[in-house]
Structure 1
Amino acid sequence: MSGPSIVVGSVMPPLERVIDRVAMVAYAGATWDWHRMHHDDTYAAEHGLPGPMVDGQVLGALLAAQLQDWTGPSARITSLHFRFRSPVFAGERVRCTGRVTAVEGELVAVQQEVVVVGPDARVAVSPAGATLELRRGRP
């Protein structure tokens, strides 16, 4: 990673995305997860949901994307964990945030969170975090 040193307390740039229906269906196709709760308005309404629910693994993928955008190709994710707090629905905007909690040699620990932003703001994923291996000078 180029730029400033990574130290405890360093804040990662936030990553924001609107997860729309097209992205949800594309993800379902890529993962073969065609559960109706992820694309069917009628099914969602029958189960008391305001709309199709974003597959939780999409949020994990966004956490990984935030890490990769921040570190670039000089690092690899060695572990990633996250806990769901509330569902995210089609068309909602989410923001991933994170900060460094430990640095030991080439290993960096980060703490992350995903929140829904807007009128129905809420925490969607927390706690979340990862361990990265910085591979400075190595592919």
Structure 2
Amino acid sequence: MTSKNTKRFEDVRPGEVLPELAVPITVTLINGGAIATRDYFPGHHDAEAARALGSPHVFMNILTTNGLVQRFIEQWAGPLAQFTALKIKLGAPNYPGDCMTFSGSVTGVDAHTRSVEITLSGKNSMGNHVTGTVALVLP
């Protein structure tokens, strides 16, 4: 049995646009993500150290970004979707006080494997923070 909140493969079409997700970028999000992923690089939790590196403030680590990508996709696909690939590339840094808005669309479907490919981006005020593709299998 599938959850009411899980997309079924039959209900997905190429070109389908996912609902946008806006994520406010805060010091707490950046610090918490770094600590949760055991990334103790000073640029992720110490503003003075980040400034010494040439950044205006602490900045988000890639593992936090990866988790936010997963959140964006799962919010659309539901809890029974199975990730088979997640490929991302970082661009502009995420700094506190900004907002990253995710957008994406279905760029491929395979009826034989019930898999779906989604191309996505997460943009902040400086441009793309993250771009990539996600593949998943739907019930």
Give TM-score, length-normalised by structure 2.
0.86
Gapped runs of 5+ residues in structure 1?
none
Structure 1 segment 98-109 matched on structure 2, within 5 A = 98-105=104-111, 106-109=114-117
The one of 101, 123, 126 equivalent to 1:115 is 123
Alpha-carbon distance, 1:48 to partner: 1.5
Q: Which amino acid aligns with 1:35?
A: F
| TM-align CA RMSD | 1.6
Q: Which amino acid aligns with 1:92?
A: D
Q: Which amino acid aligns with 1:20?
A: T
Structure 1 segment 81-92 matched on structure 2, within 5 A = 81-92=87-98
Alpha-carbon distance, 1:121 to partner: 3.5
Mapped pair 1:130 → 2:134:
yes
Alpha-carbon distance, 1:84 to partner: 0.9
| 8 Å Cα contact 1:59-1:114 kept in structure 2 | no
| 8 Å Cα contact 1:62-1:96 kept in structure 2 | no
Count of aligned pairs between the two proteins? 131
| 8 Å Cα contact 2:106-2:116 kept in structure 1 | yes
**Separation in 1 of the partners of 2:55 and 2:87?**
26
Structure 1 segment 9-48 matched on structure 2, within 5 A = 9-48=15-54
Mapped pair 1:62 → 2:68:
yes
- Matched residue SS, 1:108: strand
Structure ranking higher in strand proportion: 1
Give TM-score, length-normalised by structure 1.
0.86
Distance 1:133 1:32, change over 3 A: same
Moved over 4 A (4+): none
**Separation in 1 of the partners of 2:130 and 2:34?**
20
Identity within the alignment, %: 24
